[in-house]
Structure 1
Amino acid sequence: MAVKEIQVFRLDVGEHFGRLTEQEQRYAHHMARAAWLGARIILSQVSPESPAIFDFILELHRACGGKWQTLAEAGHISSEDLQQFLTYAATFLSNIGNYFGSGDQKFVPGLSDAALRKLACISPKLTQLYDEISPAISAIPPFSLGFPSATTQSSYYLGALTPQEITSVDRLLEQQSIFPENTRLQKPADTTTGGTTSTPTINILVASAQTTPPPTPTRLPSTIPTTKANIHLCKGDHAAPLRAICTELSLASAHAATEAQRTVLRGYTASFETGDLHAYRAAQRAWVRDITPRVESVLGFVEPYRDPAGVRGTLAYCSSIIFPGINLPNYNDIRQEVGFKNIIFANRMRVESQAKQYPFIDPAEAETFAKHKFPAYYWWVVLHEILGHGTGRMLVESAEGKYSFDINNPPINPLTGAPITSWYKPGQTWTGQFGDLATTVDECRAELVGAYLMDDPEVLALLGLTEDSEIRAEDLAYNLYQQLGVDGLRGLANFNVDSGKWGQAHSRAHFAILQCLLRNGDGVITVIHDKASRSLTVRVDRSKIRTHGKPALGTMLLRLHMYRCTADVAACRAYYEDLSRVDEEHLAWREAVLANKPPPLVFVQANTFLEGDRVVLKEYEPTVEGVIQSWAERMV
């Protein structure tokens, strides 16, 4: 889709940064630099053309000195086309690639190839860069990220890899106790010898600053019959940016507040240098134990949302998508044995309340909905992170004969009333077993926990919400159910009709929850669709929230929770795929959703600079020009 209009917001940090000590500011500066230097890794993870598009935008900024109107005045481009290019450039930079961070759909410039080529003619370097990105910058398909096909693409999987080969290699990694989060797979073109096609090679590219040793790839023994390939482990993927990141981490360590922080940074550095995720996991354990630091940060190959297989991580936290909150680490054994952290990004959440919204609430209730939306959303996110992602014990056989439960007296499965019959076997993980379902089911489960508790008087009283508070507890719960309806509908925008796949874990989760309430809530939520005006309206029956809505959510939550805890992949897939299936009626809703879709959000963020030993923070105007300037001055 061509991106024509956007909403630009600044994520303010100046007031809080000013409260830090000089040592804390210096530490924050180097940690921020380390994060931003990861942008080139993310670009390579998004699409083959993204790194060169990034360079094209910044080179054009350099060529005009950031004075964009001079390009129109000199006749290189019309004013209208210039605005379209700036809109595209800001969207690209905010998403760190040419696919939306939320939804994974490809977006293209809203101006012609001829107009772009006129810009490219400004300098030989721009011409060279444009030759690299054309026609990919404007090509549709691919429509979205996904397993490589005629309609989708993924830079996690390079070459003619099939989903079956990907699954087989992932099983091999599991057998070898090699974590996949910082890897990509590459299948070079087949070679022939004497007219006979040779056995294909699959390279497992490991992100590491080190490219040697070993001087040659490590051959992995394949014990999986379906893997008819020579499989090599190759270090050195993303080597240059990882070396730069390690340099900044070393500088940050000199200004760390505690030995615990220095331990974390040593672990990060060891992992980024060697590609060893065991070192990263040790750092994550230390990070969890570093409680309430004044400057919080996390960095690594963390979230697997953009991998169609659901196991390989995007580098965070410079990221293609900024969530309102996070709960980390993602390793469930660390969560259970050590703990976890919840981080709420309040500046990101405030933006959500200021942005244009989908018009799916009855106009008579729109003002009240807007008034209650932010507090309901805020506490929903808090409960989602703390009690959603923060609860749930996996039943695991970690080694032969070693269980996390009493195998002679196994727990009773509340879904069947009988003892459990499945659990995680040695080497198996949540993401490895559930694959493409893992992230969306986990997000759905966490959303359900928050939603289920949002009408609980005791919980709400702890949050200062009673029937006597300014915003009444009952009204907050009502607003939350309205949001469940709106979010379920707007999630359809991230369903790819061409591939039949969902493009975003949260969107699929929200739609599944809406379907649960529509099917099992006895009218607690209804959706009114006016085809003529292409409008949708969500109505909530306040009287049925506790009597019908809550039981429906509770049943869904229990099922997903038990499937996850007991590694029951087959039952989970059957249940969840049915709830998130998009039929003809939903496709008609989707057309109305797209017709009413507000412009996407674009964020401009601050930079820090060293002036001698002093750290200076610079914030930028919330404009397309401000977004581009911030990246040009970021020097990554």
Structure 2
Amino acid sequence: MRKSALLLMTTSLLTVGAHVATAANDEHPKIDYTVDRFADIEILRYEVPGFEELSLQQKQLLYHLSEAALMGRDIIFDQNCRYNLAIRRALEAIYREYRGDRGDAQFKALETYLKRVWLANGIHHHYGEDKFEPAGFTADYFAKCIRSLDPKHVPVRKGQTVDAWLKEITPVIFDPKVMPKRTVQSGSGDLLLASANNYYEGGVTQQEAEAFYAAMRTPNDSTAPSYGLNSRLSKSADGKLTEKVWKVGGLYTEAIEHIVDELQKAEQFAENAAQRAVIEKLVEFYRTGDLKTFDAYAILWVKDTASEVDFVNGFTESYGDPLGMKASWEAIANFINRKATKRTRIISDNAQWFEDNAPMDPRFRKKKVKGITAKVITVAMLGGDCYPTTPIGINLPNADWIRKDHGSKSVTIENITEAYDKASLGNGFREEFVWNDAEHARIDKYGFITDNLHTDLHECLGHASGQLLEGTDPNALGAYSSTLEEARADIFALYYLADPKLIELGLLSDPEAYKAEYYKYIMNGLMTQLVRIQPGNDIEEAHMRNRQLIARWVYEKGRADHVVDFAKRDGKTFVVVNDYGKLRGLFAELLAELQRIKSEGDFEAGRKLVEDYGVKVDRALHEEVLARYARLNLAPYKGFVNPVMKPIRDAQGKVTDVTLDYSEDYADQMMRYSREYSYLPTYN
């Protein structure tokens, strides 16, 4: 089961001012960061500073790793819901082929719906998990558009008529009771049957799945693979359970074969033998589907610290599975930002000090921290579950035993954080939600660096800290694992942001700087992240639960001392932090408890923390936040378009350079990807 995770960007609207532009960025041609705006979403571009200075070999390596990052695009759509590919392809056919009035309000609404499906890799919200409402166009209009198409453009099943297809698909799009949530993380019902994702089929129940994988595990096998990571669990008509493994020759082979082909091309341009071995082992895993091979690949990957170019490609994070076992397909191609990496190297070089001084029971600390490496990267291509929405930090591998015995590799993606930062300038957010001028000034001055340091500490040290007690089942926290692990890493980072050690190490220059991140975090967890929730809903997404859990817990525990308060001004609610020192003390208490829960595998205590503090929404406050946000006309969600990577060839066809083109817009990119990287059959 995953024990570390991607830290999603949540503070793009908070990071106002405080640019930290590198020299390379200052010299890089300026681009228009905002590409498109629709519904509650803003699409941005990101720059790739430093790409031009790479060697031709490195550029060619990145080109093929980037192609491999795009080859699996259909996989994440199919994983998120079994109808996603059919619906996406039908909508794209209408968008491409429809010859009626394209200025009609219903056509424009259908176009917006398609853009949302592209953004979320399916029909459910990428963050809130709820199915999109097809606002502004009717089922009759959708049927009219479909029937206007040449039947060859309608993605029917074999032998199915267009009318029969419409009868099957229309409720999936328009009936709010059909497949209402992509992933249900908690509750008294069966989590698998309540979820619309495509990790289980044939009516597999939660009890059946848990029993199936429990039977695979050997007691006290500390190096067991992550069972179920790369397969769909299927139940036949007679009740037999089998795994459909995602591999060459198995499920998703049509896309995986292309991924493998590009990885093998990339191997020819590997920077060194260690990197070549990583790629070879990943190809072997894709061919065999063997999870022990995956672990061997992960060990090679974490030990490759010399390569400037790096990548993630494969079935990695398990947020989409209510049981936290099955992984979504994701990919990133990147290279090191050497200047900014000096910051993370200082952190990783001092990892043992942070571990030894963490406010937790000494039994839960690692006696010897191994193999923690950290760097700041420049992403060159996003794919799968990392596109169009993307993390700002990564810590892998996820297996606890690999992290303990071999270490982990952490990255902060600074060209993405810079894109968020630059796009947020002057948007009016701080004036609307930040309490006073002192908080404004700190955020202006230190917001960007403390954001990045929080990510560095979260990924590099937070996820890598602590250890399980001997005999603790790494799967003991079940469906609550993702939220609790993200909370543990977040609060580890928050606690240490205020530590004098950061001043001593030269990572911060002002002992008051940490307050910028403390204020933003508490304000976000208690209030402003609620803009991402539909009225009347509870919180489902793990990162949002984690942030509310932390903020609500310290608010409740510190109420007697007024550590954090809500205050009113001009009829508006604000978060006020009255005592930053006591707030840090509360972070220490919660960190100790979160580590105990993980180390001992205390499911009931973990469940209670999440359900008591991380799930329920203050309805009145929620309504107020939504109204204030609406007046600002801000998009609470961001997505990205990738640059277009183009090989330049001479008259003999030899590649002489690889260039980046930033001119492609959102719809053009999505339609091109569907033409060029759509390998899976519509129904898998």
Match of 2:491 in 1: 448
> How much has 1:367 moved relative to structure 2?
4.7
Q: Are 1:347 and 2:409 matched, yes or no?
A: no
Match of 2:63 in 1: 29
Opposite residue 270 of structure 1, the aligned amino acid is: E
After TM superposition, list the pairs within 5 Å mapping 1:124-203 onto structure 2. Answer: 124-128=151-155, 131=166, 133-141=169-177, 142-146=179-183, 152-175=195-218, 179-188=227-236, 190=237, 199-203=238-242
Q: Are 1:107 and 2:132 matched, yes or no?
A: yes
Match of 2:523 in 1: 485
Counterpart pick for 1:591 among 617, 623, 638: 623
Opposite residue 250 of structure 1, the aligned amino acid is: Q
Select between 164-173 and 299-308 the one with higher mean Cα deviation. 164-173
Closer/same/farther in 2, CA of residues 492 and 166 from structure 1, 3 Å limit: farther
Work out whether residues 181 and 311 of structure 1, in 8 Å CA contact, stay in contact via their aligned partners in 2.
Answer: yes
After TM superposition, list the pairs within 5 Å mapping 1:40-119 onto structure 2. Answer: 40-60=74-94, 63=97, 75-78=100-103, 80-112=105-137, 113-119=139-145
Match of 1:515 in 2: 552
Counterparts of 1:632 and 1:117, CA distance in 2: 22
Closer/same/farther in 2, CA of residues 373 and 478 from structure 1, 3 Å limit: closer
Q: Are 1:300 and 2:314 matched, yes or no?
A: yes
Counterparts of 1:465 and 1:309, CA distance in 2: 40
Match of 1:361 in 2: 434
Closer/same/farther in 2, CA of residues 278 and 155 from structure 1, 3 Å limit: same
Work out whether residues 529 and 589 of structure 1, in 8 Å CA contact, stay in contact via their aligned partners in 2.
Answer: no
Match of 1:196 in 2: none
Closer/same/farther in 2, CA of residues 568 and 60 from structure 1, 3 Å limit: same
Q: Are 1:387 and 2:461 matched, yes or no?
A: yes
Counterparts of 1:283 and 1:366, CA distance in 2: 46
> How much has 1:388 moved relative to structure 2?
0.5
Closer/same/farther in 2, CA of residues 153 and 629 from structure 1, 3 Å limit: closer
Per-residue CA deviations over 1:553-586 (Å, capped at 9, x if unaligned) read 1010011112212223233333443332526xx2
> How much has 1:465 moved relative to structure 2?
2.2
Work out whether residues 61 and 632 of structure 1, in 8 Å CA contact, stay in contact via their aligned partners in 2.
Answer: no
Match of 1:123 in 2: 150
> How much has 1:362 moved relative to structure 2?
3.0
Closer/same/farther in 2, CA of residues 633 and 347 from structure 1, 3 Å limit: farther
Closer/same/farther in 2, CA of residues 7 and 553 from structure 1, 3 Å limit: same
Q: Equivalent pairs: percent with the same residue?
A: 24
Work out whether residues 488 and 513 of structure 1, in 8 Å CA contact, stay in contact via their aligned partners in 2.
Answer: no
Work out whether residues 492 and 590 of structure 1, in 8 Å CA contact, stay in contact via their aligned partners in 2.
Answer: yes
Q: Secondary structure at the match of 1:208?
A: coil
After TM superposition, list the pairs within 5 Å mapping 1:393-432 onto structure 2. Answer: 393-396=467-470, 423-424=471-472, 428-429=473-474, 432=475
Give the aligned CA root-mean-square deviation in angstroms.
3.0
Per-residue CA deviations over 1:496-547 (Å, capped at 9, x if unaligned) read 88885x42111001001111221122322223479x96x5421122xx111x
Per-residue CA deviations over 1:362-390 (Å, capped at 9, x if unaligned) read 37567533554322211111111111012
Closer/same/farther in 2, CA of residues 464 and 437 from structure 1, 3 Å limit: same
> How much has 1:466 moved relative to structure 2?
2.2
Match of 1:625 in 2: 667
Match of 1:399 in 2: none
Counterpart pick for 2:50 among 3, 10, 16: 16
Match of 1:244 in 2: 258
Opposite residue 114 of structure 2, the aligned amino acid is: A
Select between 491-500 and 605-614 the one with higher mean Cα deviation. 491-500
Work out whether residues 94 and 627 of structure 1, in 8 Å CA contact, stay in contact via their aligned partners in 2.
Answer: no
Work out whether residues 185 and 202 of structure 1, in 8 Å CA contact, stay in contact via their aligned partners in 2.
Answer: yes
How many residues of Structure 1 are paired with residues of Structure 2 in the alignment?
547
Match of 1:319 in 2: 384
Counterparts of 1:487 and 1:200, CA distance in 2: 44
Work out whether residues 87 and 624 of structure 1, in 8 Å CA contact, stay in contact via their aligned partners in 2.
Answer: no
Per-residue CA deviations over 1:201-220 (Å, capped at 9, x if unaligned) read 2222211112xxxxxxxxxx
Counterparts of 1:61 and 1:19, CA distance in 2: 39
Match of 1:415 in 2: none
Match of 2:32 in 1: none
Per-residue CA deviations over 1:77-130 (Å, capped at 9, x if unaligned) read 325444434433333223322223333232244331344344432433344468
Counterparts of 2:550 and 2:87, CA distance in 1: 38
Counterparts of 1:206 and 1:21, CA distance in 2: 38
Work out whether residues 248 and 288 of structure 2, in 8 Å CA contact, stay in contact via their aligned partners in 1.
Answer: yes
Match of 2:399 in 1: 331
Q: Are 1:6 and 2:41 matched, yes or no?
A: yes
Gaps of 5+ in 1: 64-70, 191-198, 211-235, 397-422, 468-472
Closer/same/farther in 2, CA of residues 609 and 200 from structure 1, 3 Å limit: same
Work out whether residues 105 and 494 of structure 1, in 8 Å CA contact, stay in contact via their aligned partners in 2.
Answer: no
Counterparts of 2:445 and 2:106, CA distance in 1: 38
Per-residue CA deviations over 1:589-619 (Å, capped at 9, x if unaligned) read 2333444454221211123244544364443
Work out whether residues 450 and 517 of structure 2, in 8 Å CA contact, stay in contact via their aligned partners in 1.
Answer: yes
With the length of structure 1 as denominator, give the TM-score of the two structures. 0.79
Q: Are 1:506 and 2:543 matched, yes or no?
A: yes
Counterpart pick for 1:603 among 627, 640, 644: 640
Counterparts of 1:98 and 1:459, CA distance in 2: 44
Per-residue CA deviations over 1:192-249 (Å, capped at 9, x if unaligned) read xxxxxxx512222211112xxxxxxxxxxxxxxxxxxxxxxxxx12121111111111
Q: Secondary structure at the match of 2:310?
A: coil
Work out whether residues 360 and 486 of structure 1, in 8 Å CA contact, stay in contact via their aligned partners in 2.
Answer: no
Counterparts of 1:591 and 1:157, CA distance in 2: 36
Per-residue CA deviations over 1:395-451 (Å, capped at 9, x if unaligned) read 23xxxxxxxxxxxxxxxxxxxxxxxxxx32xxx42xx22111111111000100111
Counterparts of 2:251 and 2:217, CA distance in 1: 20
Counterparts of 1:446 and 1:207, CA distance in 2: 30
Closer/same/farther in 2, CA of residues 478 and 606 from structure 1, 3 Å limit: closer
